[in-house]
A and B are shown apart, each in its own frame.
Chain A
């Protein structure tokens, strides 16, 4: 209630929020609806920037090198990797878990933040979902080539083999096959469904641009693009009857993706937790893996978004507020991960199993102590800087810290996989593990593959959800003055 007496033109209560309670708007500069589609579509429609080629060519070459290393491994045998008894799961599984974890931030942003009505997600969800899909593709490479004889890759599919034997569903590895392939399929469909209205935007813009073209070659290219974007836009007309079903479908997909994303990394953690190996056989694994996954994923989202927003001049759509909010999620999940590290040690001592206790002492002070302490400093210490607004609003600092998060989470997977395996129950079977050049080239190659796909995505598809960003502006609200509402019906 405001203190001033009501006059006949103003309502009895104040409709304006006091300045200290007003939030920074999601799109800065009071931009019009048309500006949003012009700005985002111009990235796809404009000429290829020079920096894009500088990023694309090395990425593509690195990816090619990675696939060559995979080809070498397949034709020679799995012995070209550093795997040996007792460390049978090396970099391949480390990389698999790392990549799939990165994907989780995309689904958290697209599904969980949607259900929680966090409107700020609209500026970043498209690119984050693309990141998910490409990260899961990179992840999927590793278990596929890790089977050694890739021509038996179809064995986990529900098809009987030559002896009429079916896959064995008691194995968590088979659960993982279903979890990861469902995750990839649903993420891809969710992303594509979100793209439909924006593909229609690009199609309609091409129709208007065609009027200005006179050159027959340019006309043909325009027609071809129209056909391609139009094909994938499925004949979208922005009909409200369609929006009604579409929004319900989007809500349901978000509702399905939420338990999905939580289950995927839980099932990945079952690959470890269901075994008997000390250091793996723990009940904390599912929540600990999920928190770590979201933590690493937000690290990667920040690594990608910060250069992207400045290269494409998107600071008004991906604002400082967006970056700050992502830093806060990173801080929260990073602290959960830190808590999990502490709890693991506590249970190793409190549980009374000498093997479990040894596994943890060995982690921190054994031959792989350096990996453990890199992990702790990157994952537990570096996100703590995000308590400070000065750090959260300094883009260079956030970028550097996000790289540390990526490194730390890779080392977490390394610590879990390698230090647990290299010394288990029987000292006679202890060993040491190190990667070969093939391991390294394959891993770096997947980074090149990821960047190649991501650069193609930002070149050819709208990297921000145009229709969704329009929907969160005040001009889109029919009850807001900017949305055309009259004074009596308007909210402040």
Chain B
């Protein structure tokens, strides 16, 4: 059974897609998105998106890398099996620092990537738009705006009118 996923409008230029995004934002829709071959400057503002919180994931990753590293080295070299080497202290933040520095970066990077994937709900194996042939141009040179039918404000005729200006083509996308 196929049902409608949303209404898809195709634009030839980033400026046309951005103008449409401003209109859709101002109309108060919530379940909609712009799809572009590359990140378009100013599109976040045009869509009314807030600053991405990925940085918090990075921070948590980095913090756990540093503290985890320090704890690990203290546990291994000064607590669980302590061996004096060259009369040096069993634990010192100085000799432990290079390893913890690297672990901060390593876990910070894991955090950033994980944060991006979680916030984007990726990976996903299926998306209704990926079955639409016209939409294949999204990674080539076309710009798309999609309003989903699930949006509470959704009304086909009104959405069509809103997307009309500057669009090359408008069609409904099925979810099969």
Instruction: Please report A residues at the B interface, Cβ cutoff 8 Å.
Output: 32-34, 37, 158, 160, 164-170, 172, 174-175, 178-179, 182, 185-186, 189-190, 193, 197, 200-201, 203-205, 207-208, 211, 234-249, 252-253, 256-257, 259-260, 263, 267, 270, 467-468, 470-471, 475-479, 483-486, 489
User: Please, which residues of chain B bring their CB within 8 A of the CB of A200?
Assistant: 139
Q: How far is the CA of A430 from the CA of B17 in the complex (A)?
A: 73
A240-B139 in contact given A166-B76, A259-B105, A484-B15 (Cβ < 8 Å): no
* Interchain CB contact under 8 A, A256 and B49: no
Which B residues are CB-close (under 8 A) to A467?
Answer: 37-38, 139
Residues of chain A lying within 8 A (CB to CB) of residue B113: 189, 193, 249, 253
The answer to whether B54 touches A484, judged by C-beta atoms less than 8 angstroms apart, is no
Evaluate contact between B15 and A479: CB separation under 8 angstroms.
Answer: yes
Q: Which A residues lie within 8 Å of B125 (CB)?
A: 235
Choose from B14, B119, B137 the contact partner of A484 (Cβ within 8 Å).
B14
B33 interface contact, C-beta 8 A: yes
Asked if A160 meets B140 with Cβ closer than 8 Å, knowing A235-B122, A243-B39, the reply is: no
In the docked arrangement, what's the CA distance between A263 and B58, Å? 19
Query: A197 — nearest CB in chain B belongs to which residue?
Result: B139
A-chain residues with CB within 8 Å of residue B95 when the two chains form the complex: 169-170
Does B170 count as interface, using CB distance less than 8 angstroms?
A: no
Q: For A178, what are the chain B residues with a Cβ–Cβ distance below 8 Å?
A: 98-99, 102-103
Establish whether residues B98 and A263, one from each chain, have CB atoms under 8 Å apart when the complex forms.
Answer: yes
Taking a contact as CB atoms under 8 Å apart, the answer to whether B16 and A471 are in contact is: no
Digitize B101-124: 1 where CB-to-A-CB distance is under 8 Å, 0 elsewhere.
111011011001101110110111
Report which of B73, B120, B141, B166 forms a contact with A33, defined as CB distance below 8 A: B141
A251: shortest Cβ distance to chain B, in Å? 9
Instruction: Give the dominant DSSP class at A's interface.
Output: helix
Give the CA-CA distance A479 to B15 in the complex, in Å: 7
Q: Are A484 and B12 in contact (CB under 8 A)?
A: yes
Instruction: Check if B162 is an interface residue, CB within 8 A of chain A.
Output: no
Nearest CB on B from A275, distance (A)? 12
Most buried by B among A185, A208, A238, A489: A238
What are 11 of the A-B contact pairs (CB < 8 Å)? A160-B81, A179-B98, A186-B105, A203-B139, A204-B138, A205-B136, A205-B140, A243-B40, A249-B112, A257-B105, A260-B102
Output the least CB separation between B29 and chain A (Å).
Answer: 13
Task: Identify which of residues 124-144 in chain B touch chain A, using a CB-to-CB cut-off of 8 Å.
Answer: 124-127, 129-130, 133, 135-141, 144
Contact, CB under 8 Å: A240 / B43: yes
Q: How many residues does chain B have at the interface if contact means C-beta atoms less than 8 Å apart?
A: 74
Give residues 13-64 of B contacting A (CB, 8 Å).
Answer: 13-18, 21, 33-44, 47, 49, 51-52, 54-55, 58, 62
In the complex, B158 has a CB within 8 A of chain A: no
- Asked if B165 CB lies within 8 Å of chain A CBs, one says no
Task: Identify which of B12, B76, B137 contacts A169 (C-beta below 8 A).
Answer: B76
Smallest distance from the beta carbon of B83 to chain A beta carbons, Å? 7
Interface centre among B37, B41, B52, B106 (most CB of A within 10 A): B37
Assuming the contacts A235-B123, A238-B139, A267-B98, asked whether A185 and B106 have C-beta atoms less than 8 A apart, the reply is yes
Total A-B residue contacts, Cβ distance less than 8 Å: 224
Cα separation A33 to B14 with both chains bound (whole Å): 11
Report the minimal beta-carbon distance from A211 to chain B, rounded to whole angstroms: 8
In the complex, what residues of A have CB within 8 A of residue B13's CB?
Answer: 475, 478, 483-484
Check A241 against B14 for contact (C-beta < 8 Å). Answer: no
Any chain A CB within 8 A of the CB of B67? Answer: no
- Residues of A within 8 Å of B96, CB to CB, are 169
- CB pair A174 B99 closer than 8 Å: yes
A256 contacts B112, C-beta separation under 8 Å = yes
Q: How far is the CB of B92 from chain A (nearest CB, A)?
A: 8
Q: Which 5 A-B pairs have the closest CB atoms?
A: A484-B13, A484-B15, A166-B76, A234-B123, A249-B116
Cα(A32)–Cα(B140), bound, Å: 10
Q: Hey, which chain A residues are within 8 Å of B127, CB to CB?
A: 235, 237
Residue of A nearest to B80 (CB): A166
- How far is the CB of B75 from the nearest CB of chain A, in Å? 8
- Distance from B167 Cβ to chain A, minimum over Cβ atoms (Å): 12
Residue of B nearest to A168 (CB): B85
Instruction: Please name all residues of chain A whose beta carbon is closer than 8 Å to the beta carbon of B21 when the two chains form the complex.
Output: 240
Partner of A243, one of B36, B54, B55: B36
Q: Are B81 and A164 in contact (CB under 8 A)?
A: yes
Q: Does B88 contact A (CB under 8 A)?
A: yes
Given the interface pairs A245-B115, A476-B14, A483-B13, the reply to whether A237 lies near B130 with Cβ below 8 Å is yes
Indicate if the CB atoms of A244 and B41 lie closer than 8 Å. no
Complex partner residue of A207 from B41, B103, B136, CB under 8 angstroms: B136
A208 to chain B, nearest CB (A): 5
| B108 (CB) vs chain A CBs: closest residue | A256
The answer to whether A189 touches B109 (Cβ under 8 A) is yes
Max chain A Cβ within 10 angstroms of own Cβ: one of B44, B76, B85? B76
Chain A CB count within 10 A is highest, among B12, B36, B117, for: B36
Q: A175-B102, A478-B13 are in contact. List 12 more A-B contacts (CB 8 A).
A: A170-B86, A170-B95, A189-B113, A190-B109, A197-B139, A201-B140, A207-B133, A235-B125, A239-B120, A244-B39, A478-B43, A484-B13
A485 CA to B76 CA, complexed, in Å: 62
- B105/A244 in contact, CB under 8 A: no
Q: Specify which chain B residues have a CB less than 8 angstroms from the CB of A158 in the assembled complex.
A: 72, 76
A258 and chain B: residue at smallest CB distance: B105
Known contacts A234-B122, A256-B109, A479-B15; is-contact A240 B42 (Cβ 8 Å): no
Evaluate contact between A249 and B54: CB separation under 8 angstroms: yes
Q: How far is the CB of B89 from chain A (nearest CB, A)?
A: 9
Interface centre among B13, B76, B102 (most CB of A within 10 A): B102
Q: Are B39 and A247 in contact (CB under 8 A)?
A: yes
Complex-state Cα separation, A243 to B54, whole angstroms: 12
Contacts of A197 in B (CB 8 A): 37-38, 139
Do B108 and A241 have beta carbons less than 8 Å apart? no
A241 near B41 with CB under 8 A, answer no
B40 touches A476 (CB 8 A): yes
Rounded to whole angstroms, the CA-CA distance of A141 and B102 in the bound complex is 20
